[in-house]
Amino acid sequence: MKTIDELLADGVRGKRVFVRADLNVPLADGTITDDGRIRAVLPTVRALADAGAKVVVASHLGRPKGAPDPAFSLAPAASRLGELLGSDVAFATDTVGQSAADTVAGLADGRVAVLENLRFNPGETAKDDTERGAFADRLAALADVYVGDGFGAVHRGHASVYDLPARLPHYAGYLIATEVGVLKKLTDDVKRPYVVALGGAKVSDKLAVIDQLLGKADRILVGGGMAYTFLKAKGYEVGISLLQEDQVPVVQEYIRRAEAQGVELVLPVDVVVSREFPDLKAKAPTEHTVVDADKIPADQEGLDIGPRTRELYASKLADAETVFWNGPMGVFEHPDYAEGTKAVARALVGAGGFTVVGGGDSAAAVRTLGFDENAFGHISTGGGASLEYLEGKTLPGLAALED
């Protein structure tokens, strides 16, 4: 994989460099609640701009349905990038239309532009190779060189991640190089006990990692939205909690294998439940109770791990030499359901070993809940991406950067 240093050594003055970043930041009412993913790409953008490149930054944000949707505009991320860089950043109101063409054509050497959300165009995520390729052709017309630095999205075989680099000279940015360097340590010789904590909401995306982790980790702690498919697999009712019903047999098999292989698969013993999903903007106090994990009422959903589970998970993390954590333990964005995530973060800070936190929301959680990011060994910008890396899968966005 060629790195950006080689590109810089060859000289980039006056060249249009397309930087595929992951600016998929959490937003509340159009305000960025955690800018970690924007800060993470700064070294690459700065280095290119300082070397006189015309830097065209592109990303997705959220999961819009292939058409413009103001709720998913990248405009706030572009402004924040400008503030962090301390210079004006141009913003194109489309991706491959007139605004993008004019914005890129108007860029002076050393200046930066951000394109509107790539996923406003159906070609970005299309399953059909020709449709994706056609979109990649249009993106390629905007640039001379490609730099991949959106680590959080390298597990997606999308046009800007996978098809575009095949059309331009391509290089890995600093963020990708750093992330891969750190995660490699977790696939080589890990120090034991190796404990993995999994939570979050993208359950169907992330369950498969357990297959590989069963041969690698000593303990797997399951929380967040992921826990309810496991509780269901144990025969418990989970009310209206997040559930991946079709995966229940797969999870039953994971539970059997964990027992057979002597891997501790640890599930919540109690959960915080409520009749309603909380309002994450108003954050008004909600009605909620703590129940045993096998007593979730039919009309309620689990939104956090309970106090006994918090203690249990903290004890399972205390002697860990290596920890990988992806996915908040609850709906941490609301104070009534943040305690589980805080407890796990606190336990990681207290653990003496090497700790990696991965994922947009997981990283945002530790920062917004007031933890010092330097207290963790590494905070990865990728959740699904880091899990798939640990699974040993070929990640399209990394494969595409190979020579």
Ligand X SMILES: Nc1ncnc2c1ncn2[C@@H]1O[C@H](COP(=O)(O)OP(=O)(O)OP(=O)(O)O)[C@@H](O)[C@H]1O
Ligand Y SMILES: O=C(O)[C@H](O)COP(=O)(O)O
Residues with active-site annotation: 37, 202, 360, 384
Using CB under 6 A, which of 362, 389, 396, 401 touches ligand X?
362
152 is in an annotated binding site: no
Nearer residue to ligand X within complex by CB, 155 or 216 = 155
Strands 354-358 and 322-326: parallel
Min CB(349)–ligand X separation in Å: 18
201 binds ligand X (CB under 6 A): yes
Closest CA to 379 of 369, 367, 387, 390: 367
Q: How far apart are CA 190 and CA 76, in angstroms?
A: 39
Min CB(393)–ligand X separation in Å: 14
Min CB(359)–ligand X separation in Å: 2
Q: How far apart are CA 392 and CA 190, in angstroms?
A: 15
What DSSP element (H or E) covers 326?
strand 322-326
- Amino acid sitting at position 334: H
Question: Binding mask 224-243 vs ligand X (x if CB under 6 A, - otherwise)?
Answer: xx----------------x-
345 binds ligand X (CB under 6 A): no
Any idea how long the chain is? 403
Give backbone dihedrals phi and psi of 87, rounded to 5 degrees, phi first.
-150, 160
Nearer residue to ligand Y within complex by CB, 265 or 363 = 363
- Which among ligand Y, ligand X, none contacts residue 328 (Cβ within 5 to 8 A by kind)? ligand X
Strands 270-274 and 289-292: antiparallel
- Which among ligand X, ligand Y, none contacts residue 242 (Cβ within 5 to 8 A by kind)? ligand X
Helices and strands in the chain: count of H runs, count of E runs: 15, 17
Min CB(119)–ligand Y separation in Å: 8
Exposure string over 188-207, b if 16+ CB within 10 A, otherwise e? eebeebbbbbbbbebbeebb
Helix segments in 86-173, DSSP class H: 98-105, 129-140
- Amino acid sitting at position 279: D
Min CB(347)–ligand X separation in Å: 17
Instruction: List the interface residues with ligand X, window 207-226 (CB under 6 A).
Output: 224-225
Q: How far apart are CA 283 and CA 353, in angstroms?
A: 35
384 binds ligand X (CB under 6 A): yes
13 is in an annotated binding site: no
Binding positions for ligand Y, rule: CB under 6 A = 22, 24, 63, 152-153, 156, 360, 383-384
In this structure, what token pair is assigned to residue 50? 């300082």
383 binds ligand X (CB under 6 A): yes
132 is in an annotated binding site: no
191 is in an annotated binding site: no
Please give the angle made by the CA atoms of 145, 151 and 157, to the nearest 5 degrees. 75
Q: Enumerate the known binding-site residues.
A: 22-24, 37, 60-63, 119, 156, 206, 302, 333, 359-362
Footprint on this chain of ligand X (rule: CB under 6 A) = 152, 199-202, 224-225, 242, 302-303, 326-328, 330-331, 333, 359-362, 383-384
Q: Enumerate the known binding-site residues for ATP.
A: 206, 302, 333, 359-362
